Amino acid sequence: MRLTKWASNCESGPCPTVWGTDGTDVIVQGFKVDDPEALATMQLPGTETAVRVPLELLKQVAREHLS
């Protein structure tokens, strides 16, 4: 799978990032959700995970890639 960086919160190093793929999916890199109450609310199956991303990052993706 080939990834293309669509938007990021920083210029270098690991940080929340939204990646486009060579298919129809989007990959989101963010802060691991480890709050027990939030995880219990989401009831994630073993094949999924949850990450937090800044709202401004998603707005940037919408402006630049989804309009």
The pLDDT, as a whole number, for residue 33 is: 97
Q: With beta carbons less than 8 A apart as the criterion, state whether 51 and 35 touch.
A: no
pLDDT tens string 17-58 = 999 999 889 999 999 999 999 999 999 999 999 999 999 999
The pLDDT, as a whole number, for residue 23 is: 87
The pLDDT, as a whole number, for residue 11 is: 78
Q: With beta carbons less than 8 A apart as the criterion, state whether 54 and 29 touch.
A: no
Residue 44 CA: distances (Å) to CA of 5, 22, 39, 47: 26, 26, 7, 8
SS3 36: helix
